[in-house]
Amino acid sequence: MKGRTIALEALDGTEAAALIVDGQLHDLLIDSDHPRPGTIYRATALRPMKGQGGMFLQTPDGNAFLRQVKGLAPGDALLVQVTGYAEPGKAIPVTTRLLFKSRYAIVTPGAPGINVSRQIKDDDLRDELLAIAHDVMEGDHGLILRSSCAGADAQDIAEDIDAMVQLAATVLADTTGEAETLVEGDGPQALAWREWQAEEVDAEPGSFERHNVHDLIEALRSPLVPLAGGGSMCIEPTRALVAVDINTGGDTSPAAGLKANMAALRELPRQLRLRGLGGQVLVDPAPAPKKERRQMEQVLRAALKQDDTDTVLAGWTQLGLMELQRKRERVPLREVLK
């Protein structure tokens, strides 16, 4: 099965979306009862956290935590946006830098200027997009025209920009009152429309069955990930971190360690994305000499460039483990598949 397909379905009554690329599950979004990233609140400041440089806020969905709160006093009302999912027992992470994002455009209040995605290289197309934006934009907001504008209809782009500009104006004018949800973050199917590109969208009942999504999801319940060449990788989240163990399997050749490590590191970002895992990630590679570390790093960095989640390769521990820090953008799959 070649090509890219988006399958939209309800999974045990919960909204879900899957992106299948050449028969392989490339991305998976399943709704949860957590506040969605992108949700905008009018929040109320509660109390500062001494030593952490932040403040707790009251929202309709519970307490939120805001960093960099200079000039903010308890009782003040302010607009904030959810940036990710909270860890168990912790406050919702939010920011005051609001983004109004749709398929073709991102409106950026407080950051003026009109910019076109660097992925669009054609100078004539860039000029056309800038002309569309200048015709539609109002006020002092900034605008980013996304890579999905390439090949899109000019009228669709203009309408998308206008919708985000109008939404931004409405929200930014609503600054007084009790804590309230002003904009609900996009659910899985809206996110799929906004973020994914595919030749086919299957939204008819039974789409997950037709594209084998149920079996592909079932494989994610196991910590074991078979690798090309006979090796394997085991991914096990704990309370403090995500542990990744790479093994060579039955391969006893001199290059077995390097082959297993390369295959695992190419696959790791996809597996972390599908499993919804973030935070501190420790990778225990298969036995390999130190001289191969640079090559391993290059492979991992190349794989991370294909992944949208911010992930930093922090380096190596004294025990020879690779240490990564990954933004928590999703609820772990093990929680939504209970």
Strands laid side by side in the 279-284 sheet: 224-226, 232-237, 242-247, 279-284, 322-326, 311-316
Mapping DSSP onto H, E and C, the string for 251-316 reads CCCCCHHHHHHHHHHHHHHHHHHHHCCCEEEEEECCCCCHHHHHHHHHHHHHHHHCCCCCEEEEEE
> Which amino acid is it at 287?
P
Question: How far is residue 2 CA from its own chain's centroid?
Answer: 25
**Residues 116 and 126 sit within 8 Å (Cβ to Cβ):** yes
Dihedral of CA 239/213/103/166: which sign? negative
Say which DSSP state 247 is in: E
Buried b (16+ CB within 10 A) or exposed e, 7-40: bbbebeeebbbbbbbeeebbbbbbbbebbbbbbb
**Residues 231 and 266 sit within 8 Å (Cβ to Cβ):** no
Instruction: State pLDDT tens for residues 87-121.
Output: 878 899 999 999 999 999 999 998 889 999 999 99
Query: Could you list the pLDDT tens digit for every one of the 338 residues in the chain?
Result: 578 999 999 998 899 999 999 999 999 999 999 999 999 999 999 988 876 778 999 999 999 999 877 788 899 999 999 999 888 788 999 999 999 999 999 999 988 899 999 999 999 999 999 999 999 987 789 999 999 999 899 999 999 999 999 999 999 999 999 999 999 999 999 999 999 999 999 999 999 999 999 999 999 999 999 998 789 999 999 989 999 999 998 777 878 899 999 999 999 999 999 999 999 999 999 998 999 999 999 999 999 999 989 999 999 999 999 999 999 889 999 988 86
Q: pTM to 2 decimals?
A: 0.89
Write down the pLDDT at residue 296: 96
Instruction: State pLDDT tens for residues 299-325.
Output: 999 999 999 899 999 999 999 999 999
283 phi/psi in degrees, rounded to 5? -110, 125
Within 110-170, strands assigned E span 113-116, 142-145
